[in-house]
Structure formats: structure tokens, C-alpha cells
Amino acid sequence: MKFLLYLKNSRFPKVLLNDENNELSDGTNFWDKNRQLTTDEIACYLQKIAANAKNTQVNYPTGLYVPYSTRTHLEDALNENIKSDPSWPNEVQLFPINTGGHWILVSLQKIVNKKIINYK
């Protein structure tokens, strides 16, 4: 299993390298090609990233599909959050998802279009 981190137009490129030599507490390198990452390790490391980034929330890692369904865990999480708060999200949301062979990181943030008023 590999950890694929894809953040298009990322706000976090320097934050990801914030950890000293990217080492885990046992001295192994977090980004080693042969490293098998557990869900808890990914959740822990992403919490460190969120702690160093303003207005960021990390959701607990999940699988891609809900068993015996065509729905995805991400779809369920989005629908649940929007139903409880229509103005959600108020901060950047990170969703680590295990696709079976890879981990992907989905970043969700609200884009607010501010109307520009030109005074003459």
C-alpha cells in the first residue's frame, strides 16, 4: 500500500515537510517506498499537518466504498455534514481515503465569491 498525496493548488506544500526528516517515533522514514502505512499512522500524521495549518480539519481515514453499496464513504460524509449545517464547510476539510491499493487525500474547501464593487 502506498500513500499518494495529491493536493491540487495546495496551501500545504511546506507544511508537509515540517516534520524533522519525516521520521516516525520509531526512527523509520514516514515516506519510505516500502513502508506499509496503517490507518492510525496516517490519521496521526495528518493531525500534525492540520495542527500547523490554520482552519484545517482532518477527518478519520476511511475506505472508498460503503460495503454492499454503490455509495462512497466520502459521499455519505459530505451529505451528512451538509444536512446538519448547510453553510458547511467553514474550514478546509481533509479526507484520507483508502482505495484498496493507494491512499488518496481529498481536500475540500468552500470558495466564497466576493462581489467587487467599482465606485466611480
pTM for the model stands at 0.61
Expressed in angstroms, the distance from the first to the final Cα of the chain is 59
pLDDT in tens, 49-96: 888 888 888 888 888 888 898 888 889 998 998 899 988 888 888 888
**Spatial separation of the C-alpha atoms in residues 87 and 72, rounded to whole Å:** 22
| Domain ranges, ordered by start, for the chain | 66-110
pLDDT in tens, 16-48: 443 455 555 555 565 666 555 778 888 888 888
Give me the sign of the Cα torsion angle 49, 50, 52, 55: positive
**Spatial separation of the C-alpha atoms in residues 81 and 88, rounded to whole Å:** 7
